Structure 1
Amino acid sequence: MTTEHGGLPLPDYDQLPVGTLEHRIRALSVPELDQLLHYEHGHADRAMVVQILTARKRQLDAGAPLSGGNPAAFKPETAGHGRGGSPVSPATSPEPSSPPPHGTPDQRGKPKANRTGG
């Protein structure tokens, strides 16, 4: 199964986070992994990605089965593009207050002991 980037087997391959890529390649065959390796060496040449693809090829060569599913059917994920910001809004934030300088608001300070040595 081939898609974008000149027939790569995973959609939006360049934008996939490494952790997602590691799971997506489980359904790929050795020729498809070779295709991704060739593309990776010619483009970003990310050491971690090359290591993951090579390790998966070794697993398949040792008899590991392909996982079921279609890796191209997943909605592509992108790295580092979260919504950001705080979920706090004026409606959910507490009332502003200043903490007391010492102790708790309902306790008055006690005078210190006589410090004049005597």
Structure 2
Amino acid sequence: MTTPDRSKLPLPDYDELNVGTLEHRIRSLGVPELDQLLHYEHEHADRAMVVQVLTARKRQLDAGAPLSGGNPAARKADVAGHGQGGSPVSPATSPEPSSPPPHGTPDQRGKPKGNRTGG
């Protein structure tokens, strides 16, 4: 078996995936696709954790586990509907800035500290 070209892998961004992301993205792949990724992994980086994840998923499928839905080639940003990172907070949705009082509460101000004498 020849080493598959990176562009022909079932996950186009395979080399850029961390183990946690890979674990979720392979859930919709069948045994032939997993075999292709395993072969590619052994021929290139041969990362022990990646091989372990791919092998474990292959065993699950051999035991009758179902494929999950979804597109294994979809990147997280594609699925979420917006770019990576960022926050839905904008200047329009941000609260007005406020500074907490240095002591006490807004309704009950604290007393300034003074010299204390024993009594």
| Residues 35 and 63 (structure 1), Cα distance of their counterparts in 2 relative to 1, 3 Å cut | same
**Kept after mapping to 2: 8 A contact 1:16/1:76:** no
Identity %: 68
Any residues of structure 2 matched to 1:14-33 within 5 Å, and which? 14-33=15-34
- 5+ unaligned residues in a row in structure 2: which ranges? 78-83, 87-96, 103-109
1:70 is displaced (CA, Å) by: 1.7
Q: What TM-score, normalized by structure 1, do the two folds share? A: 0.64
Deviations 1:88-118 (A, max 9, x none): xxxx696xx9xxxxxx8702021368xxxxx
Please name the residue that 2:44 is paired with. Answer: 43
Measured on the aligned residues, the alpha-carbon RMSD in Å equals 2.8
Highest CA radius of gyration, 1 or 2?
1
Please state whether the residue corresponding to 1:109 is helix, strand or coil. coil
Q: What TM-score, normalized by structure 2, do the two folds share? A: 0.64
Q: State the structure with bigger RCO (CA 8 A, min sep 6), 1 or 2.
A: 1
Deviating beyond 3 angstroms after TM superposition, the runs of 4 or more aligned structure 1 residues are none
- 5+ unaligned residues in a row in structure 1: which ranges? 84-91, 98-103, 114-118
Please name the residue that 2:8 is paired with. Answer: 7
Please name the residue that 2:57 is paired with. Answer: 56
